[in-house]
Chain A
């Protein structure tokens, strides 16, 4: 007796073994999708996944059976435990991606059915998306596009095309991808965009980003100079101001202790800026630095709505910048700032740590006795830097407890932060309010797209002194020692043997051009692809006529656009189908009509006209003469020698007439 329920047997999927030749493709897909994660995942995971892949490839080469299930279960459980130990969780971005990588590798070990291959490919498609957690650059995009084509080609081969040439499969997959392109564009442009990442990137996503910091110690900027990466890009409306005026203001530091400059909290008050020259307008595209400050030219007059301008002219965003962002500014380059200053600020600008740097204080005191006017004290200090043998170098010696004393009187070798720091200490000791400003100075115009590119290596520190009637004035002691730094940039200012970021001073024209091109392409990608924010989407939609975009009319627009595209594609492919000859159309009509007479009377695709006519006649003898006449006419028209147009027309009319006379229902 058969105890098995009948429906159970039907539910079992039909076994369809995986074609042997598809396996290398699946392995390649796994490599292409999981490989780049090697850069972000723990080494042991890479080792396990790599070993499993190699093992699978060996089994395939030798045509050996797959490992038993208990062994696989053991490996999976062990790796799962290792992931829990590594990340303390199975959820979240990194643990989740690691799990996916592991599943993908282990699934390859139980490829028995075609279905299993499909599972691997779906995992691959999904894993592909997770690369965006780590990078959204052009190379990542290109790699993902290639991997996408590879996955699709494998999917094609998995479903019966496994004897095709590899290039043919790839080309087919490429065509499919190209056909998906318009839909991708529509979805990209119209799918409602959400500000902020969809799944909440963890806070550490932008850890380890380089840039200015809230403190300045001797050597901190010199380290930053080694970094050739881009800090921000600027597009000026109108002419770019001369390089020597490009002071991009970052954190303002007014507290000096233990050789370190810091910023102290200041109650917010509106700064007073008197413009003495024309305004310049520009847009900056700031790379994420995980800090709140924005970088504007001294002195900003108009800042983006959400940002605020501080009492010390620092521009702050409401939250740390964790993604690339654009800001529009206006600045005046010739200005007076806070001619009436708060006593608290002035008092802080005279602070000095007690009992440190006695020789510096003594020197300042000496100068003050000679000429107590603040302006001449400033000139005196600058002249001191210019006349004494000071050197501008990245390789400054380490400084001890009385760092400024050592620098001014012993080592005399330093970088911009040394000079700014020493100058401010001198001023404060002489009774002139002064502070340190950090930021960037200069930048290079990319000739390809005209953007001014400011790099981390353009980081700079300078000083500000407050003078009666003039307010805060910028004094850059570095320009006294090394005017080239301000006029021509860091590469020109430093001796040739000093380490600088790769490419910062290459003379190879083509290499520089190549770099400019690459950075311009990157910039365009950032501006147009990654920079497509909800705001920009709203602008685009309102330009398209959607005044108040909400999710309802956006979905409608999305559906309409996709429908239109589908319609166009369908029309296009219909238009490419060869037009049927008239006799062929008539014949097909005849076949359809006779198929309706009885289900077994449909013409088989391979059945010739005469044979079909004869079969019809045998089944329905009353129709025999008509059926044979129609078949004969069609055969003459289609397979006969070319006819005179008139004869042909006559035959066609006879054929049409014969078909019209056919009964639409089976004769009883």
Chain B
């Protein structure tokens, strides 16, 4: 007798990761879960928020808990692609060029304030994200696996920023906003001091092969035909909504299904429910739906309004 849908639990390792992350990052349950779901669905994450709300801490925590290498790149307006990808320098001893890998050769990259860099530098990173490899000076070098980029972005209206174009926004599976912590979490934060020492003290809960195993399992989460109907109905509705300049692409539909699987898996289920799709919907859809009037993208409220206009098939 199979158990009803809601009663199983995810793999122990993943539960432990969630647990530990929530002990470091206080009061951000949903965001932490979304970030982990994004990673399990082999996607990259974009966090858009003000400085100092814990973006770096989240990225660092995830890297530590998953037992992955971590590098942070602070983007600035004078940065060049070579600063990310690496350069070849002349080695006098061997009388030859030697490639010095850039900071991107790691498993978790925190690309801080990505919209401070020029479009050229941005696109160097984004290409690496898409292809999982780097081509510098005619030689293609693979990036380590798993490869996970957490980019942070200042709100676009800040001075001195180059907003990411639509096509590149689409490469980020999810976009999150962390927001201020609630008063209880903030109080706890104040009482226990900064997070730096806590993050440093974290011990990995997983190994990279275990993580890859979980990612494979996520792909096997069942999506029944009625659920696929639902995903299609949502995508179709986004294309028809007059409020948006254009709707979700087929790539976005695939992404929606992948994250929904991961979300269901994190909830301990082996099948995707409409609730899973709905839970990840704002994070997935908002940055992919440009408003028809003016610039900017759909707010979470607008995305939810669209969702509520679509009946379950």
Quick check: is B295 within 8 A (CB to CB) of the other chain? no
Are B5 and A610 within 8 A (Cβ)?
Answer: yes
CB-CB contacts of A606-646 with B at 8 A, as 1s and 0s? 11111100000000000000001101110110111101000
Q: Are B222 and A608 in contact (CB under 8 A)?
A: no
Say whether A605 faces chain B, with CB atoms less than 8 Å apart: yes
Interface residues of B in 212-250 (CB under 8 A from A): 222, 224, 226-227, 242
Q: Name 10 extra pairs, CB < 8 A, besides A606-B311, A610-B273.
A: A605-B311, A606-B274, A628-B6, A632-B4, A633-B4, A636-B271, A638-B226, A639-B5, A641-B270, A647-B1
Residues of chain A within 8 A (CB-CB) of B7 are: 632
Which residues of the other chain, B, contact A608 by a CB distance below 8 angstroms?
273-275, 278, 312
10 residue pairs from A and B, CB less than 8 Å apart: A606-B310, A608-B273, A610-B5, A610-B273, A610-B275, A628-B6, A639-B226, A640-B5, A641-B222, A647-B2
Q: Give the residue name and chain of the B residue nearest to A650 (CB).
A: B1
Chain B residues with Cβ below 8 Å from A632 are: 4-7
Smallest beta-carbon distance A289→chain B, Å: 61
Digitize B151-176: 1 where CB-to-A-CB distance is under 8 Å, 0 elsewhere: 00000000000000000000000000
Whether a CB of chain A sits under 8 angstroms from the CB of B141 is: no
Q: Which residues of A contact B312 (CB under 8 A)?
A: 605-608
**Counting CB contacts under 8 A, is A604 at the interface?**
yes
Asked whether B63 is an interface residue with its Cβ less than 8 Å from the other chain, the reply is: no
The 5 closest A-B pairs by CB, nearest first: A632-B4, A605-B311, A608-B274, A608-B275, A635-B5
Q: Which of A628, A629, A636, A638 contacts B2 (CB 8 A)?
A: A636
Contact B272 A639 (CB under 8 A): yes
Does B307 have its Cβ within 8 Å of any Cβ on chain A? yes
Tell me which of B1, B4, B242, B311 contacts A635 (CB under 8 A).
Answer: B4
The answer to whether B120 has its CB under 8 Å from any CB of chain A is no
Interface residues as binary, B272-291 with A (CB distance below 8 Å gives 1, 0 otherwise): 11110010000000000000
Q: How many residues of A contact B (CB 8 A)?
A: 24
Q: Please name all residues of chain A whose beta carbon is closer than 8 Å to the beta carbon of B2 when the two chains form the complex.
A: 636, 640, 643, 647, 651
A638 touches B4 (CB 8 A): no
Interface centre among B1, B227, B273, B278 (most CB of A within 10 A): B273
Whether A639 contacts B4 in the complex (CB less than 8 A), given A604-B308, A606-B308, A608-B275, comes out as no
Nearest neighbor of A641 in chain B, beta-carbon distance: B222
Q: Please, how many angstroms separate the alpha-carbon atoms of A111 and B88 in the complex?
A: 72
Task: Please name all residues of chain B whose beta carbon is closer than 8 Å to the beta carbon of A641 when the two chains form the complex.
Answer: 222, 224, 270-271
Listed in ascending order, the chain A residues whose CB lies under 8 Å from chain B are: 163, 604-611, 628-629, 631-633, 635-636, 638-641, 643, 647, 650-651
Q: What 0/1 readout, one digit per residue, does chain B (1-41) give for beta carbons within 8 Å of chain A?
A: 11011110000000000000000000000000000000000
Assess A606 versus B4: contact at CB under 8 Å? Given A639-B224, A639-B226, A640-B271. Answer: no
Residues on A with C-beta less than 8 A from B272 are: 639
Our count of residue pairs bridging A and B at CB distance below 8 angstroms stands at: 70
Closest-by-CB residue of A relative to B4 is A632
Residues of A with C-beta under 8 A to B273: 608-610, 635, 639
User: Which of B1, B270, B312: most chain A CB closer than 10 A?
Assistant: B312
Alpha-carbon distance A604/B275, docked complex (angstroms): 13
Q: Roughly how many angstroms separate A629 CA and B3 CA in the complex, as a whole number?
A: 11
- Report the minimum CB–CB distance from B142 to chain A (whole Å): 35
Residues in B neighbouring A631, C-beta threshold 8 A: 6
Bound Cα distance from A641 to B272, whole angstroms: 10
The smallest beta-carbon distance between B3 and chain A, in angstroms, is: 8
**B50-88 interface with A by 8 A CB criterion:** none
Chain A residues with CB below 8 A from B274, complex form: 606, 608-609, 639
Across the interface, name the chain A residue whose C-beta is closest to B277: A608
B173-208 contacts to A, CB under 8 A, are: none
Which residues of chain B have C-beta atoms less than 8 A from A650's C-beta?
Answer: 1
- Bound Cα distance from A655 to B226, whole angstroms: 19
B6 touches A635 (CB 8 A): yes
**A647 neighbours in B (Cβ, 8 Å):** 1-2
| Cα distance A629–B222 in the bound complex, in angstroms | 20
Inter-chain contact A640/B1, CB cutoff 8 Å = no
**With the chains together, A632 CA to B273 CA distance in Å?**
10
Q: State the Cβ distance, B256 to closest chain A Cβ, in Å.
A: 15
The chain A residue with its CB closest to the CB of B274 is A608
Shortest distance from the beta carbon of B269 to any chain A beta carbon, whole Å:
8
Partner of A639, one of B227, B310, B311: B227
Q: Which residues of A are found within 8 Å of B226, using beta-carbon distances?
A: 638-639
Smallest CB separation, B220 vs chain A (Å):
10
User: In the assembled complex, which residues on chain B have CB atoms less than 8 Å from the CB atom of A651?
Assistant: 2
A82 to chain B: closest CB distance in Å?
Answer: 45
Name the residue in B2, B222, B227 with the highest tally of chain A Cβ atoms < 10 Å from its Cβ.
B2
Q: A639-B5, A639-B226 are in contact. Are A606 and B271 (CB under 8 A)?
A: no
A636 to B311, CA, bound (A): 19
- Chain B residue with minimal CB distance to A581? B226
Assess the B5–A636 pair: CB atoms within 8 A: yes
How many Å lie between the Cα of A631 and that of B7 in the bound state? Answer: 12
Give B270's nearest chain A residue, CB to CB.
Answer: A641
Most buried by B among A163, A604, A608, A633: A608
**In the docked arrangement, what's the CA distance between A643 and B224, Å?**
12
Q: Find chain A residues with CB under 8 A from B311 CB.
A: 605-606
By the criterion CB–CB under 8 Å, are B1 and A610 in contact?
no
User: Cβ of A604: which chain B residues have Cβ within 8 Å of it?
Assistant: 308
* Contact residue among B4, B307, B308, B310 (Cβ-Cβ distance under 8 Å from A636): B4
* CA–CA, A639 and B273, complex, Å: 6
CB distance from A34 to the nearest CB of B (A): 34
Q: How many Å lie between the Cα of A610 and that of B276 in the bound state? A: 10
Partner pick for B271 among A163, A605, A611, A639, CB 8 A cutoff = A639
Complex Cα distance, B312 from A635, in Å, reads 13
Q: Complex: how many Å from CA A476 to CA B209?
A: 115
A554→B128 CA distance, assembly (Å): 81
Q: What's the nearest-Cβ distance from chain B to residue A369, in Å?
A: 103
- From B6, which residue of chain A is reached at the shortest CB distance? A632
Q: What's the minimum C-beta distance from B242 to chain A, rounded to whole angstroms?
A: 8
CA distance A607 to B273 in the complex (A): 11
Chain B residue contacts of A635, Cβ below 8 A:
4-6, 271, 273
Cα A635 to Cα B272 in complex, Å, equals: 9
A611 in contact with B1 given A606-B311, A606-B312, A639-B224 (CB within 8 Å): no
B307 touches A606 (CB 8 A): yes
B166 smallest CB distance to A (angstroms):
23
Nearest Cβ on chain B to A608's Cβ, whole angstroms:
4
A638 touches B224 (CB 8 A): yes
Complex interface: chain A residues within 8 A of B227 (CB): 639
Q: Compute how far the CA of A340 lies from the CA of B308 in the bound complex, rounded to whole angstroms.
A: 99
CA–CA, A63 and B242, complex, Å: 22
Which A residue sits closest to B272, measured CB to CB?
Answer: A639
What A residues does B307 contact at CB under 8 A? 606
Q: Which residues of A contact B222 (CB under 8 A)?
A: 639-641
Min Cβ gap B121→A in Å is 41
The interface residues of chain A lying within 8 Å CB-to-CB of B242 are 163
Least CB distance, B179 to chain A, in whole angstroms: 23
Point out the residues of chain A lying under 8 angstroms from B309, CB to CB: 606
Cβ distance B2 to chain A, nearest Cβ, rounded Å: 7
Given contact pairs A610-B273, A610-B275, A629 touches B4 in the complex (Cβ within 8 A): yes
Residues of A within 8 Å of B271, CB to CB, are 635-636, 639-641
Cβ contacts under 8 Å, A163 to chain B: 242
CA distance A650 to B242 in the complex (A): 46
**A contact residues around B310 at 8 Å (CB):** 606
| Cα(A606)–Cα(B274), bound, Å | 9
A639: chain B residues at CB < 8 Å are: 5, 222, 224, 226-227, 271-274
- The distance in angstroms between the C-alpha atoms of A629 and B271, with both chains bound, is 17
Measured between alpha carbons, how far is A631 from B274 in the docked complex, in Å?
12
Question: Within the assembled complex, what's the spacing in Å between the Cα atoms of A163 and B271?
Answer: 37
Which B residues are CB-close (under 8 A) to A628? Answer: 6
Of all chain A residues, which has the CB nearest B234?
Answer: A606
Give the CA-CA distance A606 to B310 in the complex, in Å.
6
- Whole-angstrom distance from the CB of B33 to the nearest CB of chain A? 16
Shortest CB distance A526–B (Å):
50
CA gap between A606 and B7 in the complex, in Å = 23
